Amino acid sequence: MNRALQPLRTVAVRRVGLRHESAAVAKYKTRMEHDREHAGKAAATWKNICIFVATPCLLAAGVNAYNLYKKHLEHLEHHPPHWVHYEYMNWRARPFFWGNNSLFFNPKVNHDANEDE
């Protein structure tokens, strides 16, 4: 190809490319507008579901859990837990360096291993 005609050819290719690209960009923009419109409707739907369905359900579950816990505490006042000693419980080859109880010992819930001695 002649070197003198090469710049004209690149200009023509650029123009054709721009025309083609602008149609593609317009198509892309219309598709994005449609998606944005659809996403806005879907986001509004999920926002309403979260506000008007999930929040009341969580509140109802919280109230239910609180009432059950309150009944459980009332039951424990009348019937305290009874500890049954079994041979396999609190069995240690040697005591921990902080004492007989495990690291996760809770005196309100667990039996004290020092009382067995």
Delimit the domains of the chain by residue range: 1-64
pLDDT at 65: 98
pTM: 0.51
What's the burial of 105, exposed, middle or buried (CB within 10 Å: 0-12/13-18/19+)?
Answer: middle
64: which 2 tokens?
């239910």
Three-state secondary structure string covering 50-70: HHHHHHHHHHHHHHHHHHHHH
Work out the number of other CB atoms within 10 angstroms of the CB of residue 52: 9
Q: Are 117 and 101 in contact (CB under 8 A)?
A: no
What is the mean predicted confidence (pLDDT) over 15-20? 56
User: How far, in Å, CA of 73 to CA of 40, rounded?
Assistant: 48
pLDDT at 81: 78
% of residues, the chain, pLDDT over 90 = 30
What is the mean predicted confidence (pLDDT) over 55-72? 97
pLDDT above 60 for 11: no
User: How far, in Å, CA of 31 to CA of 1, rounded?
Assistant: 41
The DSSP bridge partners found for residue 96 are 99
